[in-house]
Amino acid sequence: MDDELRKVRKCIKGNQVKATRLLQQLVQEGSVRGKEAAAQAIIIEKCRELGLQLDIWEIGDKNLTDHPAYCSDRKDYTGNPNVVGILRGTGNGKSLILNGHIDVVPENNLAEWKHDPFSGFIQEGKLYGRGSTDMKGGTVALLLALEAIINTEIKLKGDIIFQSVIEEESGGAGTLAAVLRGYRADGAIIPEPTNLKIFPKQQGSMWFRVTVKGRSAHGGTRYEGVNAIEKGIVVINQLSELEKVRNSRVVDPLYENIPIPVPINIGKIHSGDWPSSVPDLCIIEGRIGVAPDEDMSKVQAELEHALQELGNKDSWFKDHPTTVEWYGGRWIPGDLESDHPLLSTLESSYLDVTGTSPVIEASPWGTDGGVLSKIGDIPVVVFGPGVTEVAHDANEYIVLEDLFTSADIIATTILHWCEVSSED
């Protein structure tokens, strides 16, 4: 095995420049929701080059949209496919899914970016751009590991199922479609941006939309109306209280270094359409984190209850209760047992490559790991080279050296997990 590992790592080293160029191209195709096609085309081309058995399909069939775990407001998936590339093993080995999402969140305020968000600009060992860290860098690490194994002509016993999915950022419809298409394995690695930490548990999350009512009036006699923005602030404060209560309950040691294990994020507020009118409607949208051991429906009920309670603090809400919608994104939490062999294989591979023990934590965000584990019944570990802190941020970047290190670790894990075949 040592010989194979040496060859594979040498090959990874030799392919670093090529992998960097691949990541740059992927970042340059800004694959925000609905525009995933061009980036997927690059992935497809790479899979063809590696000789993987390709499965390219447009998701959105009735089987998917009728599934209870499906939640999406997207109407049209045409032209933006899911991509799966399979490297068949010789048999009798454990199979492994390598899952990365190709979609990226919007670039937000352009003025905050030092360079074009889709430039793929490289400086001092960092590659910048939306999606560099979350998670095209992780996907490139997977491909770099696979390429090295294929180029060194190592045969694996177990199958590798490489997946480049859409819709992770909006709730996991892409990975759910892959599960429903029948893709299963004995384990899965998702190289989301974990700062090279290992996350056997992942926070789930759900999107919510709260509608807050006011009463409109002329701004010059604003005292005749009730400003929906003011009432929206009351709602935001209530959600902040709820966040405190919920987090005081989290005792899992994997969360002990995370400031807010299950955050409630207020992501959007929109109210009013005329500066000199008192607005009568305020829409607040956000994301509530779900702990690995929590039930999604109980979390929904808890938030709804907190908003019903508002009437006791402010009588306006008695007669004008808020309404809550659970729309769009919805990520099931993931929860791998701490003694699972996939976890120990990844741990020992990490130690082998870096000479140090990995940090094992619970992820502060939802991933497609919840769908793979809870719907697909596949053991999942989240581990990747991206920088947690800059995911979804302006000036998102990835440290290229970490990408290469993670490729070494993932390749090592593959060789141990799927096992090397002696067949020719």
> What is the set of active-site residues?
103, 168
Q: Is the CB of 30 or the CB of 329 nearer to a copy of itself?
A: 329
Q: Which residues pair with 32 in a beta bridge?
A: 104
Cis peptide bond upstream of 135, omega within 30: yes
Using DSSP, state whether 201 is helix, strand or coil. Answer: strand
Measured from the CB atom, is 50 or 269 closer to a copy of itself? 269
- Chain length of the chain: 424
The CA-based diameter of the chain, rounded to the nearest angstrom, is 85
How many whole angstroms separate alpha carbon 370 and alpha carbon 200?
11
Which residue's CB is nearer to a copy of itself, number 319 or number 339?
Answer: 319
Three-state SS annotation for 34-103: CCCHHHHHHHHHHHHHHCCEEEEECCCCHHHHCCCCCCCCCCCCCCCCEEEEEECCCCCCCCEEEEEECC
- Positions touching a copy of itself (CB under 8 A) are 105-106, 108-109, 112, 134, 169, 203, 205, 207-209, 215-225, 227, 229-230, 232-233, 236, 259-260, 263, 265-282, 285-287, 289, 328-329, 363-366, 388-394
Q: Which backbone phi and psi does 84 adopt, to 5 degrees?
A: -125, 135
Contacts of 149 (CB under 8 A, 6+ apart): 8, 87, 156, 411, 414, 415
Which residue's CB is nearer to a copy of itself, number 219 or number 311?
219
From CA 316, how far away is CA 44, in angstroms rounded? Answer: 56
Question: Closest separation between CB of residue 81 and a copy of itself, Å?
Answer: 23
Q: Which is nearer to a copy of itself, 84 or 212 (CB)?
A: 212
